[in-house]
Structure 1
Amino acid sequence: MSVQTAARMSVNTVAELARFTRHASQCHRTEHGNAANAVWAGAALAKYGNTVRGEHTEPLRTVFTDLLGDLLHLADALNLDFDDALRTAAEHYTAEVDGE
């Protein structure tokens, strides 16, 4: 089995990520594989960062962890088991990078 992770994105801020992912809707999984998954998630993170933080120079790690925290709040509000969802997501990720 070959590992199929997405190529590294050379971005450090929300603004850079927003520019990098501006054409996310044109990215198709059948053509771009797991890179499409990363671009779609990057577009969502950039949108979140721009909406909530509004600071385009905010480090991505800060925005990423803020989003995870807010997803925990959302899971509580929706009565979803965040840890279970995270385990399932990790299983899907592993299957995708393993090419299954």
Structure 2
Amino acid sequence: MERVKDLPGVKIHTSLKPEFAGAVGLFSIDGMKTSEVDGQLLNKYKIHTTGIDWENIHGVRVTPHVYHSPKDLDRLVTAITAMSEKQAMASKQKKS
């Protein structure tokens, strides 16, 4: 989460405080539906996540497992970075 929290449009909905840390994270990307983020992660990057749209909770849940390697998490960071940058460019083009 530390590596993606400052990307344009990325919102982390999970506390970064160590006392609230766990093996679950929730994030969203401005301008993208939860289903779009979840779908792209699976279809384009082969990363399984869970999209959540329930009451006031909207985002993609990531639950790394003990069997996931740092390389797997790097792939997730790469995917989020690419989606964030693409969405930021699309937003700029709409404003122009």
| TM-score, normalising length: structure 2 | 0.34
With a CA cutoff of 8 Å and minimum separation of 6, indicate the structure with the bigger relative contact order: 1
Higher Cα radius of gyration: 1
Q: Which has the higher helix share?
A: 1
| TM-score, normalising length: structure 1 | 0.33
Q: Which has the higher strand share?
A: 2
